[in-house]
Amino acid sequence: MGKKVLIVGGVAGGASAAARMRRLDETAQIILFERGEYISYANCGLPYFVGGVIADRDELLLQTPEDMRGRYRIDVRVQHEVKAIHRDTQTVDVLDIQRGTVYSESYDALVLAPGSSPLLPPIPGRESDRVLSLWTVPDTDRIRAVIKEKNVKSAVVVGGGFIGLETAENLRHLRLKVSVVEMLNQVMAPFDYEMAQLMHQQLTAHGVDLTLDDGVDSFTDTGSGVIVRLKSGKEIATDLVILSIGVRPNGELAKAAGLNMNARGGVITDNQMRTSDPAIYAVGDAVEVTDFVTGQPTMIPLAGPANKQGRIAADNIAGGDVTYKGTQGAAIVKLFDLTAASVGTNEKALTKGGRTKGTDYDVVTLAQNSHAIYYPGASPLTIKLIFSLPDARILGAQIVGWGGVDKRIDTLSVAMRLGATAVDLKDLEMAYAPPYSSAKDPVNMLGFMAENVLTGKVRFAAWDALDTPDDNRILLDVREGEECAAYAIPGSLNIPLGQLRANMHTLDRSKEIIVLCAIGVRAYNASRLLMNEGFQDVKLYPGGTTFYSSTHYEELET
């Protein structure tokens, strides 16, 4: 008999570690404990089951205990909770939940994959059976039952992160009236504010009522519904509340065992996923890892990293020498027919960390179609790329659009991982045909733009530069007259690009000139013309009127 390996937690990281361990060592005795009823289920798919997009509940169960036993000869024990770790004797105490008995199990190696749990702050009225959370398969059963049994017509989702927004979308699929309440001034914290505005616009367009910059003060169950009272005093009457405020690591077991922990309750590991006890490994949502961009400790509860970490732990238990090389935080979310994705750090984090735009880092924002505009179905993409100065190392990217978002964020993620600079993006050879891309793919365009910034060929204005009136500034719109007749930013001066050479003498050279067009291409040509003719203070408005209208959608709708 080979090593005896115990695994605590049977979802992403734990199930991955168990399967990998068996593939590496047929002699190992592998026991997997899961305190819930299910292992290896697709918790990222839970909102879609609530909304009926995934119709069959069994589709969420990627591996059953029977599958794991039959395929991998793994002893899977569901509804068994590990209550204590005795490091001196290398044993654990296990509660058999169904029988109510406790027994001991020894180990040669122990893998902790306890995951995380929803944050459930002590809000008055939270005990109502109409106030629920969504994190496990049984949670979906409860939510679906309440919707059916209580004839739910409306819902409030508290929290505007990934799970919260996916839940809001799927509740709208059920034709419920949906409100989202978020304490921050934006949804989706990994995105910068201006990029989140595109998501705000999409959610509002699909009938989701957004309440931002406000938190929940209390819930009052009226018997037939819930009154959600906010910190501002606003009240929302609803039939159902879904809490999606965030998650906390399930680190209690590790802490009680005396393992090294961080301030957030996460388990500290080395780059081989080994804890402060060399016989114990930890993976997944409950562990502290290294941020690939900053090199600083972080906690990022994502399924992809958890699976990789489980694999690495198993490799090292089996005698390997494999390291985890940090987390980039690559993530993507579907919002109705819109897609939003991010990787790396954002500008908010850089500013909070003391970095200065234009000195320590810079940004380019691109608005371009997902593929050749003459091929049917082309749709807008907005991409924000952040890179360091002066070395142009890619620090992060955010993309919001209707098509092709996933392949661009994955390309940028790979480029980051392999050490490419922002300028290197111009040299990437992307597959091109009109239904899929353009001859100059958006990723290539980011490289061209970054190079132009670094070599001084262009300067970009801030996305909110036009929000403050300035008599010493000219907003030059180089679109055609009929485009401006349909929509123009107040106070702008229209000189079409084709007429600029003949009319630039009318521009005051002492003033700052911000140039814009529909998406930025004509404005770039106009800015180069002006700079070549000696204009000293010329800036390009990022993304043109397309981006401006999205980031200012609220005022444009009033």
d(CA 226, CA 157): 12
Structure tokens at 70: 């039959």
**Contact residues for 112 (Cβ-Cβ < 8 A; gap 6+):** 8, 9, 253, 254, 267, 275, 280, 281, 282, 283, 286
CA distances 97 to 36, 78, 81, 102, 120, Å, are 9, 9, 7, 9, 23
Element (H, E) at 394: strand 394-401
Q: Pick from 269, 266, 264: which is nearest to 280 by CA? A: 269
Residue with the two structure tokens 């500008």: 347
The residue ranges of DSSP E strands in 182-250, in sequence order, are 208-211, 216-221, 226-230, 235-238, 240-243, 247-249
- Main-chain phi, psi angles of 310, to 5 degrees: -60, -40
DSSP string computed for 414-426: HHHHTT-BTGGGG
Element (H, E) at 309: helix 303-317
CA angle centred on 69, ends 251 and 67, rounded to 5°: 95
Q: What long-range pairs does 52-61 form, CB within 8 A, spacing at least 24?
A: 52/170, 52/173, 52/174, 53/170, 53/173, 57/137, 57/140, 60/137, 61/137
d(CA 22, CA 43): 24
Amino acid letter, residue 86: H
**Contact residues for 506 (Cβ-Cβ < 8 A; gap 6+):** 495
**Contact residues for 426 (Cβ-Cβ < 8 A; gap 6+):** 444, 447, 448, 450, 451
d(CA 65, CA 77): 8
**Contact residues for 129 (Cβ-Cβ < 8 A; gap 6+):** 146, 221
Candidate list 24, 42, 44, 389, residue with the active-site label: 44
Amino acid letter, residue 495: I
| Sign of the alpha-carbon dihedral angle for 339, 341, 346, 349 | positive
Q: Pick from 256, 255, 314: which is nearest to 283 by CA? A: 314
DSSP string computed for 52-104: TSS--GGGGBSS-HHHHHHHH--EEEETEEEEEEETTTTEEEEEETTTTEEEE
Amino acid letter, residue 168: A
DSSP string computed for 431-457: ---TTT--SS-HHHHHHHHHHHHHTTS
Is residue 44 annotated as part of the catalytic site, yes or no? yes
DSSP state of 142: H
**Contact residues for 43 (Cβ-Cβ < 8 A; gap 6+):** 11, 12, 135, 136, 137, 303
DSSP string computed for 310-330: HHHHHHHHTT-------B---
Catalytically annotated residues: 44
